[in-house]
Structure 1
Amino acid sequence: MRISKLAAVTAAVLTIPLAACGAGDSGSGGGGAAAGEYPSEPLDWTIAFGPGGGNDIMARTIVDILQQEELYPENIEVQNREGGSGATGWGYLLGQAGSGYGISTTSGSFITTPLQADTGWQPTDFTPVGLFATDDALILVPGDSPIQSWEDWVAAAQADRLVVGGIGTVNVDFIVSSLLAEQSGYEVEYVPFNEEGQLQTSLLSGAVDAMVSNPGSILGQVEAGEMRPLITTADERLDVLPDVPTTEELGFENIPSMPRGMILPPDAPAEAQEWWIETMQQVVETEQWQSYIEDNYLTEDLRWGEDFRTYLTDTQEQFRTILEEQGAL
């Protein structure tokens, strides 16, 4: 049985110093592009959510690979800047327009938050690096809940309006919860959280009846018996959760997964974008990244530069349609 090696995370605001790896060296320290002026300054890395969630885990995995492979020659300062379903963190990155030394990883909220709030930015305003993977969801109840299966959940939700928690106000978690409720014939109250720790605490304390999360964030609690997964949006049953049915096999349609990628500030220098594309193309080939994909049950989906920008445009329109149909916009 595989256990996610990244389930434990660090504090909400953490600075990770990376030892300089020979900024003037033309060897591996230069990363993807040929040695030049970029990169020659510390990197300001924003995680737009709190610790413990899929965005946080992916970002810290990438930073760890950059360190171990000596791909970035200066320090990388990583901070969780959560709030507003990602609007705070990505708004901070927006303020670094024109710079090549701000960076952030993305999630579904990067696409959905501008649809329901005046963020002052759209996903395509930022400089795209790449899409790396999609992250499937689980619906979970407390381990001591009398609800043992998805069928039990549907029956309970039809009898009484239950509460589901997720990350972000109008995010992929909200979309997944809403579509499952609509297609199953029940109504649910959705409560948003900014970070995974608060969400998990709320489930275990009984403040919410169920939660939406991803395997990489929650497998430890499942294996400890603290939480019970009822259904997954994965294409196939996960080998670590062989008894948990998929949405597809239960007849659900058009249930999305969480897209995970990387962006630079708006109007970042072309050399910075090119360097990061080439460097991340190295990162995703490393053994550590492949282990991260496998251990966290992500589906690899690689789209670089303008292909990622096109993906953001198309996916936002798809999400807009779903949210309008759900009455969320």
Structure 2
Amino acid sequence: MDWTVAFGPGGGNDIMARTLVDILKKQKLYPKNIAVENREGGSGTTGWGYLKKKKGDGYAISTTSGSFITTPLESKTGFTYRDFTHVGLLASDALFFIVTADSGVTSWAQWVEKAKQKGSVSVGGIGEVNVDFIVLDILAEKAGFELEYVPFDEQGQLLTALTSKSLDGAVSNPAEVTGQIDGKALKALMFTGAKPLTKYPDIPTAESLGFKDLPTMPRGLILPPDAPKEATDWWIATMKTVAATPEWKEYIEKNSLTEDLRWGEDFTNYLNDTNTQFETILKERGKLPG
């Protein structure tokens, strides 16, 4: 089995893929070897482009993120989400807005005040025009500060830039920064999900700060174009089993995700709706032709 992670090691996409593989092995749900390869580059273009070339292959697979939809919208990738075989949505992933613990900023109100005083702030995220960018652009517009968005392909580079003071702030999926937050190296000023996190009840939600219905990242599973029906059916049945395991429930809780299970056609409908939402937002913000 050839499992493609379209981003670098340590990110939310990578963590989910390797968790799924570990559960498959532990539960003895797949009898052969599964090779997980990070094929990062181009905000997912390299990895998903590789998967597209595996047309008709039932032994190649990948996990999705927001870039699975946004990158083809703004770049000539040679594919869109429609080209792939949709196995299922497993969870949605919101973001932390983070600063370094020694920044002197301890609340969102302080951040906005500092950003306005500075004139323009540099904030990093993963991907050129991804959920990270969309969320930050909405926050900056509604809060009234100027933002320079700095994109990264790999989580380690993003955190290095933040801790070295090259960035004023960043957004990140919770799974990628809980260690640094628990260790008091980073401070989360906001969680963009609809409800407070069980593990971090004191981190305010975006909605509690006046920002409603911010986009989240779809964590799903896809096969190459025209994958055999028997392979698709096997993966759907197997992922339903995986989603019922204690290990998966623990992963959801530990990584501050919202479980959202949609299989086959239901996942396709979800992707259609999400694509429409993202395309509308990006056009409104001048990132796509009107």
TM range (shorter): over 0.9
State the alpha-carbon separation in 2 of the partners of residues 262 and 64 from structure 1: 15
How far does the alpha carbon of each residue in 1:35-67 deviate from its partner, in whole angstroms, 9 at most, with x for none? xxxxxxxx1100000011110000000000000
The answer to whether 1:142 aligns with 2:100 is yes
Q: 1:74 aligns with which of 17, 32, 52?
A: 32
2:248 is paired with a residue whose SS is helix
Q: Match of 2:42?
A: 84
Runs of 4 or more off by more than 4 Å in structure 1? none
Q: Match of 2:8?
A: 50
Q: Match of 1:185?
A: 144
The answer to whether 1:328 aligns with 2:290 is no
State the alpha-carbon separation in 1 of the partners of residues 189 and 237 from structure 2: 40
Letter in 1 for 2:204: P
Q: Match of 1:259?
A: 218
How far the C-alpha of 1:322 sits from its partner, in A, is 0.5
Q: Match of 1:40?
A: none
State the alpha-carbon separation in 2 of the partners of residues 279 and 323 from structure 1: 35
Q: Residues 196 and 204 of structure 2 are in contact (CA less than 8 Å); yes or no, is this contact kept in structure 1? A: yes
Letter in 1 for 2:137: S
How far the C-alpha of 1:221 sits from its partner, in A, is 0.1
State the alpha-carbon separation in 1 of the partners of residues 7 and 107 from structure 2: 30
Relative to the length of structure 2, the TM-score reads: 0.97
How far does the alpha carbon of each residue in 1:129-187 deviate from its partner, in whole angstroms, 9 at most, with x for none? 00000011100001100211100111111222000100100000111111111111112
Q: Match of 1:198?
A: 157
How far the C-alpha of 1:243 sits from its partner, in A, is 2.4
How far does the alpha carbon of each residue in 1:193-245 deviate from its partner, in whole angstroms, 9 at most, with x for none? 01111111110011111111011111110111110100111222223323221
Letter in 2 for 1:232: F
State the alpha-carbon separation in 2 of the partners of residues 106 and 263 from structure 1: 7
Q: Match of 1:277?
A: 236
Structure with larger Rg = 1
State the alpha-carbon separation in 1 of the partners of residues 268 and 82 from structure 2: 6
Q: Residues 7 and 39 of structure 2 are in contact (CA less than 8 Å); yes or no, is this contact kept in structure 1? A: yes
Relative to the length of structure 1, the TM-score reads: 0.86
Higher helix share: 2
State the alpha-carbon separation in 2 of the partners of residues 306 and 124 from structure 1: 12
State the alpha-carbon separation in 1 of the partners of residues 196 and 57 from structure 2: 43
Q: Residues 194 and 213 of structure 2 are in contact (CA less than 8 Å); yes or no, is this contact kept in structure 1? A: no
Q: Match of 1:60?
A: 18
The answer to whether 1:111 aligns with 2:69 is yes
Q: Match of 2:204?
A: 245
1:148 is paired with a residue whose SS is coil
Letter in 1 for 2:99: V
Q: 1:100 aligns with which of 43, 58, 66?
A: 58
The answer to whether 1:286 aligns with 2:245 is yes
State the alpha-carbon separation in 2 of the partners of residues 60 and 107 from structure 1: 15
1:266 is paired with a residue whose SS is coil
How far does the alpha carbon of each residue in 1:266-320 deviate from its partner, in whole angstroms, 9 at most, with x for none? 0000000000000000000001000000111111111101111111111011000
1:293 is paired with a residue whose SS is helix
Letter in 2 for 1:53: G
Over the residues paired in the alignment, what is the CA RMSD in angstroms? 0.9
State the alpha-carbon separation in 2 of the partners of residues 238 and 324 from structure 1: 31
Letter in 2 for 1:61: T
Q: Residues 193 and 214 of structure 2 are in contact (CA less than 8 Å); yes or no, is this contact kept in structure 1? A: no
2:3 is paired with a residue whose SS is strand
How far the C-alpha of 1:254 sits from its partner, in A, is 2.5
In the alignment, structure 1 segments of 5+ residues that lack a partner are 1-42
The answer to whether 1:156 aligns with 2:118 is no
Q: Match of 1:14?
A: none
The answer to whether 1:234 aligns with 2:175 is no
